[in-house]
Structure 1
Amino acid sequence: MPDQEIKDRVREVLYKNMISGQRAGFSYHYTKPSPGTYPFQYFWDTCFHVFTLTALGEEDMARKHILSLFEMQQPDGFVGHMSYWKRLWPARITDLFQLRPRDLLQLYKPHMSALVQPPLAAQAVLRVYSLTRDKSFVQQLLPRLRKYYRWLARNRDFEGEGLLSIITPFESGMDWKASYDPVLGYSKGKAGPQLFWKVLQVDMHNFRKGYDLKAIYRSNKFIVKDAAFNTIYAQNLSAMAELCRLAGDEEEQYFREQADKTGKAIYKYMYDETDAAFYDLYGHDYGKLKVRTATIFFPVVLKSVPDTVCKQVLERHLLHKDGFHVPFPMPSLSVNEPAFVPNESLYIWRGPTWVVFNWFMQQFLLEKGYEQEAQALLQSVKKLVSGSGFREYYNPFTGEGHGAEEFTWSGLVVDMINKQQGAD
């Protein structure tokens, strides 16, 4: 499929899934990740939409999405991972316990979930600025962003080391991720109904505690420092420093120091020299979850990680294909892991290929001179969307599309096309 046709189809999917309106004094404008499966405004999905919209030249629409994302921000800075606007009742049983108990009494009006998601918002705002040079937009969002990132540091960096903890698998954005199995007490490898109930019990546990974060941390039922989540956090702290610089804000130095602190902590605690991989951590003692998901690569994008380490990680796993050698990279889990399943399943992120992994790694590969490898990732994604359409995820061996249809994340291919063209 020619590049322009891909872009036209991505624009069509975005507009087909776009919703706007007003309710109870709030104005909202967002894109559903898919027409039926994911009907709400999701935090990191919205940020992906900003990257896709700006790649299509839709900067005004991107602005509206970000403003909508922060419309219901709480006074303390919190922003939930789901914003319920027009449709107010949770779509799935797994969503129900992701609300604070008091919010169940307010389902008649717009509200947010009690969870967070990977904090991509600062990078999304910086992307809009990089294309529009609109400082007024930066100044408009910066107070909200400052409160949000300070909330994360205050409420999720439990140990003060610069690393954020998630309290349920759903907060990473990678539901059913295999590296969480040991924390959940699941040892059967391939996922089944028992895993579903173990994950649901985590959310029920948090719900019963009224999402009191201190109490949840003390209980230590599911306290995980995800490598991807924290890499994105570090990147966005750096983005916050840049936004503060642009706005002449005095907190620039604070965010630079926080970004450096988080980056160093990721390298110190997550990197495993023997395996040349960055692992998720669990519990109060930072135990490594030695399961090779695709996020073992993520921290290589950080400046705090030495070049020699970046090279070791890439050559061991991506370039030499140790467990990630498939026709359509990058699989969400190494093919050598017992939990690996490449086909469609309720238990996603345990084998299939997602466009977001290729999108995330492409920029780093281009920056480090791996242009051929970056081009290969792009070509793989173009084949996937040309052959199977815009699907939630794909079989890494056959390219067959699975999960939600008209799925907007796969539209990130247009940003990849633009980046590759810029590198060429």
Structure 2
Amino acid sequence: MTDEQIFDKTRSIIYDNMINGEKHLDDQVIHFHYTKPAPGRYPYQFFWDTCFHVFILTALREYEMAKSHLRSLLSLQEKNGFIGHMIYWDRLMPGRVTDFFQSRPHLRNLYKSHMSALIQPPLIAQAVERVYNFSGDIDFVQEVMPKLKTYYHWLRQNRDFGGDHLLTIISPFESGMDWKPTFDVPLGFKPGKADWKLFLKQVSVDFRNFVNNYNLRRIYKQGYFRVKEVGFNTIYAQNLKAMATLCQLMGDKEEEHFKQLGREVDKSILEVMYDEKDAAFYDVFGKDNQKIRILTPTIFYPVILDGTPEKISKRVMDTHFFNDEEFKPDYPLPSVALNSPSFNPSHSIYIWRGPTWIVNNWFMHKFLMEKGYGEEAQKMIDSIRALIGKSGFREYYNPFTGEGYGARDFTWSGLVVDMINMEREGKNLKSQSANSH
């Protein structure tokens, strides 16, 4: 496929998966407008999926649509700032057993649109910043800022259990990377090939949370799943800085608060999650922040942060990113190291345990372009072009053969259009620089 065909297909998938409607809730009419990640399989409005869709929509120059998606995501926000990782609009009852216990056991959930009780990586500040950077709509920023501030305050007040500025997830599904092999350890599952025992252990976490009515203090004290996940906290750090930028635009006095909190999160990621011996950033769990020494792409995520020294970023990349035995198959990045006992490159219900997901490449691509890894950035985007050309827009791919698995017409693969735009901008800047000399 040519780049223009990729853009056209991405636009078509986004439109085909788009949902528009309105609900009468508590004497008010709420308009919702979102994109399903895939037809049929994922019918709800998901938190970080919506943010991904904003990046895709702005890359497609669909600014008003991007704003509508964000308004919809914020529309059911609770007064204390909480936003669930799924919003059930037209389908009130979850269709999968793994979803059922992710909402509070309230009778109203059987007949009214509602949210889940879990969270997802807090990408929304960057999504709003992205809309502003592309559209220049300061009024939109002003419109959503009160809700954004309340949301990030809720996260700090309710999920920084240890007081070290890092956020804790209480379910594997909160990471956005379901069945990630690092979660095997706190679940008490011996790292290796997934089976029905792992399924029961993971679902039982949400069942226990459900029984506890998602009372966070009670859940924290019981401590059956308390994980500080690297990807989640890296995104948190990024978005605190985005909040500081948005506050600066608005002349908001909380700019310094978000800026300082972002620095503290950077510092804690380095102190708590970085392992000097292994040159990797690890997820940690429990009261003592025990490192989970399993290599997944999130070991790279903190290299993008301002608070990570360049020598550490380079060491992590040199040790693992360019390691043929770990993260360099034909179609990178695999969702766990190739030499991990958990690695399974094929289709499975236990996703994020081997196959390639385009989102990991998207997350790293900008860093590679800006930090002098131009050749690797080019290989990465060419690999994604090849995957889409071979297997279409799929949920995930075999890292050796490129065969597509999971949902078809999966929107996340459309993140490639954002990468293509960055590639074009980089080439234009180089061309302008060359001409100026």
TM interval, short-chain normalised: over 0.9
Instruction: Work out the CA distance in 1 between the residues paired with 2:323 and 2:289.
Output: 29
Instruction: Quote how far apart the aligned CAs of 1:322 are.
Output: 4.5
- Mapping 1:295-306, distance limit 5 Å: 295-306=298-309
Instruction: Work out the CA distance in 1 between the residues paired with 2:240 and 2:110.
Output: 33
Instruction: Work out the CA distance in 2 between the residues paired with 1:127 and 1:118.
Output: 17
Asked whether the equivalents of residues 120 and 236 of structure 1 are also in contact (C-alpha less than 8 Å), the reply is yes
| Aligned residue identity for 2:43 | P
Equivalent in the alignment of 2:22: 22
Q: Does 1:183 align with 2:182?
A: no
| Aligned residue identity for 1:194 | K
Asked whether the equivalents of residues 181 and 191 of structure 2 are also in contact (C-alpha less than 8 Å), the reply is no
Equivalent in the alignment of 1:89: 93
Aligned-partner SS, 1:98: coil
Instruction: Work out the CA distance in 1 between the residues paired with 2:324 and 2:304.
Output: 19
Aligned residue-pair number: 423
Equivalent in the alignment of 1:48: 52
Q: Does 1:33 align with 2:37?
A: yes
Equivalent in the alignment of 1:116: 119
Asked whether the equivalents of residues 185 and 191 of structure 2 are also in contact (C-alpha less than 8 Å), the reply is no
Q: Does 1:78 align with 2:89?
A: no
Equivalent in the alignment of 2:433: none
- Mapping 1:408-423, distance limit 5 Å: 408-423=411-426
TM-score, length of structure 1 as denominator length: 0.99
Instruction: Work out the CA distance in 1 between the residues paired with 2:147 and 2:373.
Output: 37
Instruction: Work out the CA distance in 2 between the residues paired with 1:276 and 1:106.
Output: 46
In structure 2, the gaps of 5 or more residues are: 428-437
Tell me the alpha carbon deviations over residues 81-120 of structure 1, each in whole angstroms, 9 at most, x when there is no partner.
0000111110201111001112x44321110000000000
Aligned-partner SS, 2:407: coil
Equivalent in the alignment of 2:12: 12
| Aligned residue identity for 2:232 | F
Instruction: Work out the CA distance in 1 between the residues paired with 2:86 and 2:74.
Output: 11
Aligned-partner SS, 2:408: coil
Tell me the alpha carbon deviations over residues 171-198 of structure 1, each in whole angstroms, 9 at most, x when there is no partner.
0000000001011011151001110000
Instruction: Quote how far apart the aligned CAs of 1:318 are.
Output: 1.0
TM-score, length of structure 2 as denominator length: 0.96
- Mapping 1:224-373, distance limit 5 Å: 224-373=227-376
Q: Does 1:153 align with 2:156?
A: yes
Equivalent in the alignment of 1:128: 131
Asked whether the equivalents of residues 316 and 322 of structure 1 are also in contact (C-alpha less than 8 Å), the reply is no
Instruction: Work out the CA distance in 1 between the residues paired with 2:246 and 2:95.
Output: 36
Instruction: Quote how far apart the aligned CAs of 1:26 are.
Output: 1.4
Instruction: Work out the CA distance in 2 between the residues paired with 1:400 and 1:322.
Output: 21
Q: Does 1:63 align with 2:50?
A: no
Instruction: Work out the CA distance in 1 between the residues paired with 2:191 and 2:215.
Output: 31
Report sequence identity in percent: 55
Asked whether the equivalents of residues 85 and 117 of structure 2 are also in contact (C-alpha less than 8 Å), the reply is yes
Aligned-partner SS, 2:394: coil
Instruction: Work out the CA distance in 1 between the residues paired with 2:258 and 2:83.
Output: 19
Instruction: Work out the CA distance in 2 between the residues paired with 1:322 and 1:68.
Output: 43
Q: Does 1:382 align with 2:375?
A: no
Instruction: Work out the CA distance in 1 between the residues paired with 2:202 and 2:20.
Output: 33
Instruction: Work out the CA distance in 2 between the residues paired with 1:246 and 1:182.
Output: 43
Instruction: Work out the CA distance in 1 between the residues paired with 2:293 and 2:304.
Output: 20
Tell me the alpha carbon deviations over residues 307-349 of structure 1, each in whole angstroms, 9 at most, x when there is no partner.
0000001111112334112000000000111010000000000
Instruction: Work out the CA distance in 1 between the residues paired with 2:306 and 2:421.
Output: 24
Q: What is the RMSD computed on CA atoms of the aligned residues?
A: 0.8
Moved runs in structure 1, 4+ residues, more than 4 A? none
Tell me the alpha carbon deviations over residues 2-57 of structure 1, each in whole angstroms, 9 at most, x when there is no partner.
11110000000000000011012211000000001111000000000000000011
Instruction: Work out the CA distance in 1 between the residues paired with 2:362 and 2:165.
Output: 26
Tell me the alpha carbon deviations over residues 386-411 of structure 1, each in whole angstroms, 9 at most, x when there is no partner.
11000000000000000011100000
Asked whether the equivalents of residues 365 and 377 of structure 2 are also in contact (C-alpha less than 8 Å), the reply is yes
Aligned-partner SS, 1:403: strand
| Aligned residue identity for 1:304 | G
Asked whether the equivalents of residues 394 and 408 of structure 2 are also in contact (C-alpha less than 8 Å), the reply is yes
| Aligned residue identity for 1:11 | R
In structure 1, the gaps of 5 or more residues are: none
Asked whether the equivalents of residues 92 and 109 of structure 2 are also in contact (C-alpha less than 8 Å), the reply is no
Equivalent in the alignment of 2:430: none
Instruction: Work out the CA distance in 2 between the residues paired with 1:139 and 1:351.
Output: 42
